[in-house]
């Protein structure tokens, strides 16, 4: 099994878990430690990508460009990546990312909508950025369909395309099938991004590697949307046990996760009822905080909202459905 490229996305996916409240000082500290540990790629942006600080996605406490500035200043030999979601971010954000020293743009779309990404891959390439395609909610489509979408991204200029388990809904067999399909179809790298709703983030990442994945993601202490991601420090420890030498310093990762990241958690990082329901129903993990707020406001069980969102097939960008569903459920309860 070859050595994968590891991306730590604590400072992007983890942003969801702290209501987008990272400070420039915190970002500088974390990037400095990750770079010292020789983590190849460090992702930094609003949780929903460049330009994500909005009423729908959640406002950032600090301007994300200040965060990116600190990341670039502390990156040493590591590369800084930022997420970009078409419709949330725009072309000017790509130009600004390049100007600020971002190295890699990760273009994320729903896994059936790769065709909307072309202009953004092309702009990223013109701006001298490395490019990664993110096929979000990959559990909703069969492997063959994902491979066709990935081929589109490859044709637009992607250097790598990820199978993204946005809801933490995949199991090892379905991960292997999807990663294998992309490996067979593409001449570029294939990545895998896990969430831990079913307790399978590490196991699924190992399954992705067994299927030939070239790139994998993690977050320190698993900090991320919903119940979080594959913990980077655990992932590196597992790879070490598998005799796969990433060159990453595990001790620095463990110390950073324990001393700097653990104290910022706003709620316990456990697979509770809401997170399990989200993974089982296949609902986008970044919806969870919004679901909990709506449930409290309308006095509705959050699981009921999650299950209805799953039935409707809600995808990223449809956060407005959360309030609609909560109101409808409340009205049904009043009619009883």
pLDDT at 41 over 80: yes
Least confident of 66-75, 146-155, 265-274: 265-274
* Domain limits, the chain: 5-264, 273-335
Burial of 168 (0-12, 13-18, 19+ CB in 10 A): buried
273-335 folds as Helicase, Ruva Protein; domain 3 (1.10.8)
Token pair, residue 285, equals: 């993990």
Token pair, residue 177, equals: 């099938």
Distance CA 245, CA 240 (A): 6
193 marked among binding-site residues: yes
Degrees (nearest 5) of the Cα angle 230, 235, 240? 170
| CATH superfamily of the 5-264 domain | Aldolase class I (3.20.20.70)
* Higher pLDDT among residues 297 and 42, named by residue: 42
Q: What is the pLDDT of residues 158-170, one digit of tens each?
A: 999 999 999 999 9
Exactly one of 16, 110, 139, 290 is catalytic; name it: 16
Distance CA 129, CA 138 (A): 25
Residue 140 contacts residue 282 (beta carbons within 8 Å): yes
Predicted confidence at residue 336, as pLDDT, reads 60
| Mean pLDDT value of segment 188-192 | 98
Predicted confidence at residue 311, as pLDDT, reads 84
Distance CA 235, CA 222 (A): 10
Predicted confidence at residue 335, as pLDDT, reads 59
Nearest to 107 by CA among 157, 167, 146: 157
| Mean pLDDT value of segment 293-313 | 85
State the CB neighbour count (10 A cutoff) for residue 311. Answer: 12
284 marked among binding-site residues: yes
- Could you tell me how far CA 318 lies from the centroid of its own chain? 17
Q: What is the pLDDT of residues 54-77, one digit of tens each?
A: 777 778 889 999 999 999 999 999
Note the residue count of the chain. 336
Under the phi-then-psi rule, with left for phi > 0, alpha for psi from -120 to 50, and beta for the rest, what region is 40? alpha
195 marked among binding-site residues: yes
User: Which pLDDT band holds residue 146 (cuts at 50, 70, 90)?
Assistant: very high
48 marked among binding-site residues: no
User: Which pLDDT band holds residue 271 (cuts at 50, 70, 90)?
Assistant: very high
For the chain, the average pLDDT equals 93
Instruction: Give the end-to-end CA distance of the chain in Å, rounded to a whole number.
Output: 58
16 is catalytic: yes
């Amino acid at each position: 099994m070859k050595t994968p490229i590891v991306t730590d996305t604590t400072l992007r996916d983890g942003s969801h878990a702290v209501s987008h409240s990272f400070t420039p000082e915190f970002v500088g500290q974390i990037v400095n430690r990750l770079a010292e540990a020789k983590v190849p790629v460090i992702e930094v942006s609003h949780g929903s990508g460049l330009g994500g600080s909005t009423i729908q996605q959640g406002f950032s406490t600090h301007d994300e460009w200040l965060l990116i500035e600190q990341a670039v200043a502390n990156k040493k030999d590591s590369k800084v990546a930022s997420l970009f979601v078409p419709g949330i971010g725009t072309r000017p954000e790509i130009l600004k990312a390049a100007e600020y020293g971002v190295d890699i743009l990760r273009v994320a779309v729903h896994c059936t909508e790769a065709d909307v990404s072309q202009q953004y891959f092309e702009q990223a390439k013109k701006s001298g950025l490395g490019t990664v395609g993110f096929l979000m909610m990959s559990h909703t489509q069969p492997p063959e369909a994902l491979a066709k979408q990935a081929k589109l991204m490859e044709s637009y200029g992607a250097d790598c395309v990820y199978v993204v388990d946005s809801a933490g809904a995949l199991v090892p067999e379905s991960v292997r099938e999807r990663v294998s399909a992309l490996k067979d179809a593409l001449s570029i790298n294939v990545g895998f991004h896990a969430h831990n709703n079913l307790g399978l983030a590490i196991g699924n990442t190992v399954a992705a590697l067994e299927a030939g994945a070239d790139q994998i993601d993690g977050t320190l202490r698993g900090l991320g949307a919903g119940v979080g991601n594959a913990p980077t420090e655990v992932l590196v420890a597992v790879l070490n046990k598998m005799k796969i030498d990433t060159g990453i310093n595990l001790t620095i990762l463990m110390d950073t996760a324990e001393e700097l990241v653990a104290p910022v958690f706003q709620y316990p990082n456990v697979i509770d009822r809401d997170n399990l329901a989200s993974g089982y129903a296949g609902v986008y993990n970044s919806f969870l905080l919004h679901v909990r707020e709506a449930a409290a406001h309308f006095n509705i069980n959050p699981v009921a909202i999650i299950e209805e969102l799953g039935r409707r097939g809600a995808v990223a960008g449809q956060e407005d459905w959360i309030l609609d569903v909560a109101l409808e459920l409340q009205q049904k309860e009043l009619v009883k």
